[in-house]
Structure 1
């Protein structure tokens, strides 16, 4: 533990360093190293950047360290926020240019970082691209693409239901419970091992076993990571190729990524769409820049502008419970994105342990925050991160 209260983890490849426990590789304190070295631990599939040049990222640096904000009865600055928040990478965009870019905890410009559930928004964006071309119909039943799911609780659900996580399928998302659906997903995805031979060995097998419903389809939002995997299998079936190849072909190469990205894969070779995507800070920034410019980057129009407008404006204003309401009291969820405020229409990609891509097109402002928190979720840390970004947005404006 350093003097600023942030733990640092010794490189496990160094001589005499402790061996990372297989069951805890994504938990603290190990995640301070593992989130930047996932392919050292798990099998992965390449997301090729393509043959073309990288899209330029204009730079117009500003000194934002002293920008201050009040949160939960205390005063912080951007400098103290970055020093105490377990941040690994931080990048701010304003009016099409990078105004701040920081690397911490050993991260570099070429280091891929685990995105956790930010991956959902990557996959959701690809869904928007394919929907715009008519390859996938969000209004169609999931079973139109995956007839095998007629025997599951997904029978009757539409593709839009899984895009919005409003299917009625029962899925226990509890991260720390040893017998939850999430624990089974960790095993099925290849992230963890299990001694129980009855647990599903692949993500597809896990989906086929979801036969219980907890509410009617479309009745309410319930955060279920497995919905993104169902969506990814729909996209794969409709397009006839893997999710890693789809992200490369439809998004990563056309937007001019600078580096290859990668997905972790399960024992069947499926790329984990709900949280297994890894990329560099600057390429996450290119993804953000494309969203801020209505789906365009470097002269190319990649994502349909009407899909992005509908994503920001068409969200259901469901009441969030627990940590969701604490962090986003006016928020909603739509097309695999979090809408921060239905009036301002700023939106976000978010992942556990502190991953975030913040997007406010009306202010021409965006930010990428990559972290390795000691907790899965923290309302206090998320509120602090949002307060920091709001303060930077206001200072730049």
Structure 2
């Protein structure tokens, strides 16, 4: 009996030792998984969205040697009535408003500051679309109607075999992908665990095999499509998205703080939502688009691409938003009015005709609610119209 107990205790001790060794060996991975699992907790979400580098692998984007030109100050905008209630109700963390390129309003809430590198979520898709326009104009890609497998052989025989680059840009791939953030077994959350554990995003995309319709038939928001677009750009150029984004967009545009991408275990950028930058720098990107891709006398993104990507072209339904190449248009869009959007209430609103850019970050748990979205757009328009009134001397 004593001998048996002795061996049991030895076995238990060996198991504990093995678990300790495993815990030390996999400490970083376990820490990231725990961080991911608590990413959206109400008491942590604000800090998490300003410090995503604590939870994920990440790489700075090269910014070049040219310092950012300061956003010139304009006449301060008076917020519309009810603005404070809006900030509280929508859990706003920051807002920057530009009128004709001048900074007319900014605010930081819930302990955030102008220095915070806030997670963009799907606004990052609009950045990647802009990069695609540059690569296409340079001839590295022949046509948007080229099959993605021409540039990414790894995707042959999977769900993306038969999909074109245009399908990916318009999110009409027909690829089955569950984006339910509340379901821990959904595709989007499985993808998050791959990222947190330092896995390979390319392999994750190649492992998708199911489709729900033929490519080009229906529009459905499929975030992994943008990872595939990143694979296409990397395959066409032989370069990383991080280097290309830095060289082609970030450096010529200028930034106040060096942004970074979340990355997988091989250093591949999480292009569909992993860009982190200051709210002012998101506004700079929006102002460059308002100016049809031009900034400080340089054409950064081709003018024709800016117009094409911000014009509805995807087959969305009558009750849905218009959609271009990773940009959204309200259902009742004003002339040249469009947005980048991300989960939990990230917005980059642009009204070219009235010369207004609004960059907004939030931790809004009701971001999917249609009425909340309508109210957000209504507020952006109220602010825009108020600025127009100021310019006309009506206040």
Q: TM > 0.5 between the two?
A: yes
2:37 to 23, 28, 36: 23
2:105 to 82, 86, 100: 100
CA deviations over 1:171-206 (Å, ceiling 9, x no partner):
11111112221121111222xx6xxxxxx9321111
Aligned pairs for 1:242-321 (under 5 A) are 242-319=240-317
Superposition deviation, residue 53 in structure 1: 2.1
Distance 2:161 2:365 in 1: 38
Distance 1:255 1:261 in 2: 12
CA deviations over 1:1-28 (Å, ceiling 9, x no partner):
xxxxxxxxxxxxxxxxxxx754122342
CA separation of 1:41/1:183 partners in 2, compared to 1, >3 Å: closer, same or farther? closer
The question of 1:140 aligning with 2:146 is answered: yes
CA deviations over 1:67-110 (Å, ceiling 9, x no partner):
13xxxxxxxx2232123321111011111211111111222221
2:174 is aligned to 168
- SS of 2:353's equivalent in the other structure is helix
Superposition deviation, residue 207 in structure 1: 0.8
Kindly indicate whether the alpha-carbon contact (under 8 Å) linking 2:312 and 2:329 is maintained by their aligned counterparts in 1. Answer: no
CA separation of 1:22/1:167 partners in 2, compared to 1, >3 Å: closer, same or farther? closer
Superposition deviation, residue 112 in structure 1: 0.3
- SS of 1:179's equivalent in the other structure is coil
2:328 to 338, 343, 347: 338
Kindly indicate whether the alpha-carbon contact (under 8 Å) linking 1:346 and 1:360 is maintained by their aligned counterparts in 2. Answer: yes
* TM-score using structure 1 length: 0.85
2:23 is aligned to none
2:94 is aligned to 89
CA separation of 1:174/1:257 partners in 2, compared to 1, >3 Å: closer, same or farther? same
What residue ranges of structure 1 are gaps of 5+ in the alignment? 1-19, 69-76, 194-199
CA separation of 1:30/1:94 partners in 2, compared to 1, >3 Å: closer, same or farther? same
The question of 1:370 aligning with 2:371 is answered: no
Distance 2:120 2:368 in 1: 14
Distance 1:21 1:111 in 2: 19
- SS of 1:99's equivalent in the other structure is strand
CA separation of 1:56/1:43 partners in 2, compared to 1, >3 Å: closer, same or farther? same
1:9 is aligned to none
1:358 is aligned to 349
CA deviations over 1:139-173 (Å, ceiling 9, x no partner):
21101100121111211111111011101111111
Distance 2:199 2:133 in 1: 30
CA deviations over 1:22-54 (Å, ceiling 9, x no partner):
412234231111101111222101112210121
CA separation of 1:22/1:225 partners in 2, compared to 1, >3 Å: closer, same or farther? closer
Distance 1:21 1:234 in 2: 30
CA deviations over 1:262-314 (Å, ceiling 9, x no partner):
01111222110111110001111110110111101112110111111112335
Kindly indicate whether the alpha-carbon contact (under 8 Å) linking 1:175 and 1:182 is maintained by their aligned counterparts in 2. Answer: yes
- SS of 2:106's equivalent in the other structure is strand
Kindly indicate whether the alpha-carbon contact (under 8 Å) linking 1:255 and 1:286 is maintained by their aligned counterparts in 2. Answer: yes
Select the structure that is richer in helix. Answer: 2
Superposition deviation, residue 342 in structure 1: 5.5
Distance 2:176 2:125 in 1: 19
2:159 to 150, 153, 175: 153
The question of 1:392 aligning with 2:383 is answered: yes
Superposition deviation, residue 246 in structure 1: 1.4
| C-alpha RMSD of the superposition | 1.8
2:203 is aligned to 205
- SS of 2:301's equivalent in the other structure is coil
* TM-score using structure 2 length: 0.85
Kindly indicate whether the alpha-carbon contact (under 8 Å) linking 1:114 and 1:279 is maintained by their aligned counterparts in 2. Answer: yes
Kindly indicate whether the alpha-carbon contact (under 8 Å) linking 1:174 and 1:180 is maintained by their aligned counterparts in 2. Answer: yes
- SS of 1:163's equivalent in the other structure is helix
Distance 2:386 2:166 in 1: 38
Distance 1:27 1:142 in 2: 37
Displaced runs of 4 or more, over 3 A: none
Kindly indicate whether the alpha-carbon contact (under 8 Å) linking 1:175 and 1:376 is maintained by their aligned counterparts in 2. Answer: no
Superposition deviation, residue 240 in structure 1: 1.5
CA separation of 1:383/1:284 partners in 2, compared to 1, >3 Å: closer, same or farther? same
- SS of 1:357's equivalent in the other structure is strand
CA separation of 1:343/1:102 partners in 2, compared to 1, >3 Å: closer, same or farther? closer
